[in-house]
Structure formats: structure tokens, C-alpha cells
Structure 1
Amino acid sequence: MASVAVQPIVNPRPALKAELSRNPYYIPNLRPLYKDWPEAVNPNYPELKEALAARIDDLYPPERAAALKKGDYALLSSMWWPRANAKRLKTVTFWFLWLFTWDDEIDQSTSELFINLDHANAFRRESFHYARYSLGVPDEETHKFNFDVNVPTNKLIRSLDIIGAELQEVYNKDQIMCFVEEIDYYMDCQQREQARKLTGAMPLADVYWETRMGTSAVTSMLALNE
């Protein structure tokens, strides 16, 4: 995750929005693509909803927690993984809740981390290396943080410890490293996207897709599906 220089330019988004708003656009029928998708809800949903609510209350301030619980991530997860056992369902749900809310820490335009790339880079580095530490695969850079003594002060980063411990029980070293690589890819793409947003530059399609495939975090979820 190398540092990226930022040079502000005129924001082209309002003009593009106005141009797009003048024309109707139609989305084709996507149902055939999902005809074999399981429609069940995991029977562990009630217990997961209760566990997730407790975790949300522990990690987020009341207003944010209320909004997250209203979104019912437990139901989303229970439909996403209808056949997972209770323990694995909870682990993957804790991960994607962490992922979505961690991204918001930087991606919200009102966030101090969004407008300060250096601070955001430091936040990303600590998050990535604490993920490595929690997964039991620290490298030389990870050891510089000395997490055995200097536990992250940010509660959201610190909450990776539970996820990492659970994954270590079921993944082998290769699976863990695959997951780590996808986290690194996601954070690297997020950094590049943030730098681009700060300049106001509108990317060409190929540049957009180059980072969007990472910032969507799809590949980290696929690695988790192992």
C-alpha cells in the first residue's frame, strides 16, 4: 500500500450526474442468472441476530448501532450462507459487518480519514497488520507494531482478534494466506480509489474497474468461502 500523491482538480461529477439524469436507463431481467440460488434462510438466524446485536452494541455508538441493527445483517448473512453451521455463520457475519463498517471509517466524505490520506494510510496499515497478527501470520512489518504489548486503541481494529482466532481453527496456512492477500488487495484498491476521489478526477472505465473489483471486497469474501 504505497503512498499516493494527491493533486486537487475541478470535480466533474455534478456535470456527469446532470448528463446521466436526462436519459432513462433500463436494467435487464437478472432473475435467470439466480435461478439456482438457494432461497432458504439459515435456521441459526435467530441466535445469530442476537449475537450480532450484542457485538454491534459493543463496537459502535448508540445511533450508529441502531442503524446497523435496523439493516439486519444477520438476515442477509443467513440468506447468503443458508447451510453454514452456527459457529461458521457467526464468524463470516462478524467479518463482513467489520468490512462494511471499517470501509465507512474512510469512505464517508465527512470523515477525517477521508480528507487526510496520510492518516488513512496509517489506519489501513495498522488494520492490515493487526489482521495478520490475529490470523497468526505476522510478517516483519507486523512485528514492528509489537501488538503483544501495543494493542490497537481503535476498537473496530481490535475486534479482528475474535475473527482471526475463529479462522485459525478451521483454515490451514495456505487458506489463511490467500485470505490475507485478498485483504491486502482490497485495502490497496481502496487507497487508490480514495486518492482519486480526493483529486476529483473521473476515472475511465478500465481504471474504475481496476480498483472496483478490489473495493467491492468480493475476492476477500470468496477467500472466506473456503
Structure 2
Amino acid sequence: MSAAPKKEYFFTPLGTVEPYCYIAKADFGTGSFASERGKFKINLTVPSDKAQPLVDRIVKLYESDYAKRLAEHKKNPPAVVKGRKPPLAPYQGDLPFFENDDGTVTFKFMAYDRYEKDGEVIMLPLKVVDAKGKRIEKVPNISGGSEGKVRFSMFAYGWSNVAGASVKLQLDSFMLTKLVEFAAGGDDWGGQEEDGYVADDSDKGSPKSDWDEQEEPESSDGDDGGDF
């Protein structure tokens, strides 16, 4: 039996985190949208020129995977059962990014906070590293306006009754280079590190990191260093 293909990871260029992100803690929804399985979410806005290589890669996967699924659908169309609703026709859904009018692109990343294996629930806290690529153990309350980079994988999926065929950007970890921290219960914004967010020694984890080659310079105005 052949082994599953190794998951490929990518790094975004340096970007700005949009409001309503869930990084330090997962989102469990509210009311009728409440869930026992939380979601980490980051919408990251990147200048269009820096974002283009990533846009091209996503669109290529989006188009090629849909073409394969469509060809297979035409070759082996699902059976139509008399008296039942006809099978759903193939269609494409929204891309996991949108282009803004101000010359930027916003990418949408998400990951679940847990999974189940052999009846056991495995928790998956989101890994956050500082500007030097070292893990932050006590993740601050990162809010919109913060800056950083995302490490992620991506995969294509087919159409269904709730969504068209598209590509998902699977959030793996986040590099924080500038912190904007929301002050709960007030309108103040604090904790901004203009020269690049660096965790205290007490907050840093193991020196080995997936971000070792993604270390950011002290200033957030430097080269973004995004790799594709």
C-alpha cells in the first residue's frame, strides 16, 4: 500500500490581519451556529503585487481540479433515480480570496481546533511564532491591524448541496510581526510593537521551528520574504 502524499506547505507574504480573527482562541459560534468543534480563522490582506504568485497557484489548482472532476462526471454520470430529485449539476464555488479596490488581496484561512482518531479527541492549538520564528506559548489577544505571515497547506474539494467546487486554505501556523491587541471592555488599542513583535524568553517554546527560514527583520517595513 503506497503512502499518502506528503502535505505541501506555503508561506504568505507579510500582510495585515483583518478584524474578527480567531488566533489565540478558536471560534465556537453562537446560537444556532454554535459548535463543539472550534475554528481558528485568519483573513490576511496582502498588497496585490506580493500576492500574485499565491493567487496564480490557487487559481491553477481551482481550475485544474474542477476540470478533472467535471470530466469524470461526464464519463460516469450519476444515475437518475425515478421519482427523486436529479443529481446536482457540477458547479464552481467562491475562491478563498477576494481582490480589493485598494490594490490588495485578502486571503481566507481556517483550521479546526481538534480532530477525532480511534475514538480519542486530539486537540490542535494554533501555533503562533514571533518575528524570529520562535513559538509564543502565551499567545496575546491578537486583533485586526496586527501584521504577520501565514503558513498553510491547500487542497481542492468537489461540489455539494452547500458549496461549489473550490480550494481550501488550511491554516497551519501564524508568524506575528506586529501586535495590535484589543483591550476588552473598552475602545483602546494597545501593545503595538512597531519594530516587530518578539516574545519574551518565558513565552518561547522549542528552538526548532517550521519557521526557521522565515525569520523576519526587526522592522516590519523590510522584505516580506514570502516563499511559494
- TM-score band, normalised by shorter chain: under 0.3
Please report the TM-score for the alignment, with normalisation by the length of structure 2.
0.22
Question: When you count strand as a share of all residues, which structure comes out higher?
Answer: 2
